[in-house]
Amino acid sequence: MHIRNRLDTLLKKFEKRFTPLNRIEIIEDNVLYNYDFFSRLTRGYVWPVLKANAYGHGLKEIATILQKRRPQYFVVDSYFEALKVWDVAPHQNVLLLAVTNPVNFKNMNFKKCAMVVYSIETIRALGALERPVRVHLKINTGMNRQGIEPAELDTYIREIKRHAHLELEGVCTHFADADGENDAFTNAQQKLFSDVLDTLEQKNIKPRFAHSAATNGSPKIHDPRCNAMRLGIGLYGFHTLQQLDPARHVVAELKPALRFVSTIIKTREVGVGDVVGYNCTFKADKPMRIGLLPVGYYEVYDRRLSNKGFVRFKNHGLPIIGRISMNLTTVDLEDSDAQVWDEVEIISPCLKDKNSIPEMAALAGTIPYELLTSISETVRRVVV
């Protein structure tokens, strides 16, 4: 272990001296602004969701930034993500969302880790440890993915009570259509969840936390017993509320926290009729000057942005031409003065730019979540 730690230290020192052609800038002030915004909005506990490499932003970078706010929980998908959190925030409590193979329970640190549960088998396996474990019971209120049925509540409560070391710390649910313009389904889900809270109260069972809302649902939930929220994409400056949703204006001032920068590595003159890239999908209809970037669908791009997307150089929006390759992309330099080693902006933190995440997602026919979580972990993140 000592040798491994020494090697990791040496590698990090080398990385700091090595200047990459691609980098991601994480805007610390915007992360904290977004966190504070939801703290004011919900007036309850705000638990940042750091799964999927903090939505592509860098789990360790975001965890480090948020130590300035010391949230009650970080929310992650797996125990491996929890270990990364503890590398930079060793005392931070973590809530695990996903199912964990019970054979691993004996090796897990439950002093700093709570678990979302929704199966009798998981509860029994945790109870068999005879160690204190905090659990959050997930209720299926209509998404029909994870969670127990409300009619099963008594069965699960009895099972948890059978194990003296288990603490029912929380109950939760997840909305299927919180970003839809019509809130009828979300309201129906919340009604079912509130009914579960009523039932627990009648049984004199009072979990410390109840959480149903994430980013898009947070402006719509008004049950004061829901005293915590799981802050996912909103932490990073985005939402997916529809144009006509009355709640959209509430989150309109969120600030994106990621900027992706690359470098022009070659320029080339092409003539009329010349093609660019795989499958000859782009053919020049005039003499052009083009630039090559060392970034492709491995690092960041959705391939559907081929011949559609844009990068920015100074005030120029430069079109992507030809197929996006695994590690390379070609752009039309148009009448710009861009030269080799000049930097270009792949992702802009300005929502109005054509290369912002929402604009790129719309062009690619996908959602911001997919683009963000597809950003490669190999690209260096720098907090600015």
Q: What is the CATH number of the domain that holds 246?
A: 3.20.20.10
7 lies in some domain: no
Q: How many CB atoms lie within 10 A of CB 145?
A: 10
- Same domain (yes/no): 167, 287: no
Domain total of the chain: 2
Structural domain boundaries enclosing 162? 28-251
What pTM does this model have? Answer: 0.94
Read off the amino acid at residue 340: V
345/375 Cα distance (integer angstroms): 15
Tokens of 52: 């999927």
At residue 215, the 3 state secondary structure works out as coil
Last residue of a domain, one of 251, 267, 282: 251
Query: Do residue 197 and residue 117 come from a single domain?
Result: yes
Which of 227, 251, 275 delimits the end of a domain? 251
The CATH number of the domain holding residue 274 is: 2.40.37.10
291 lies in some domain? yes
Do residue 202 and residue 313 come from a single domain?
A: no
Kindly state whether residue 18 falls inside one of the protein's structural domains: no
Q: With beta carbons less than 8 A apart as the criterion, state whether 199 and 17 touch.
A: no
Burial of residue 114, with CB atoms counted within 10 A of its CB: 0-12 exposed, 13-18 middle, 19 or more buried? buried
Q: What counts of helices (H) and strands (E) characterise the chain?
A: 10, 19
Give the C-alpha separation, 299 to 224, whole Å. Answer: 43
pLDDT value of position 168? 99
Are residues 231 and 275 both part of a single domain?
Answer: no
Residues 36 and 157 placed together within one structural domain of the fold: yes
Spatial separation of the C-alpha atoms in residues 15 and 367, rounded to whole Å: 32
pLDDT of residue 3: 73
Does residue 11 sit within a domain?
A: no
Nearest of 118, 73, 74 to residue 100 by alpha carbon: 118
Q: What is the mean pLDDT of each run of 10 residues along the chain (384 residues)?
A: 68 78 99 98 97 99 98 98 98 98 98 98 97 99 98 98 98 97 96 98 98 97 95 99 93 98 99 98 98 99 98 96 99 97 99 97 98 98 98
- Residue that terminates a domain, selected from 251, 286, 304: 251
If asked whether residues 62 and 200 sit together in one domain, one would say yes
* 10 domain-assigned: no
Q: What local confidence, expressed as pLDDT, does residue 2 receive?
A: 64
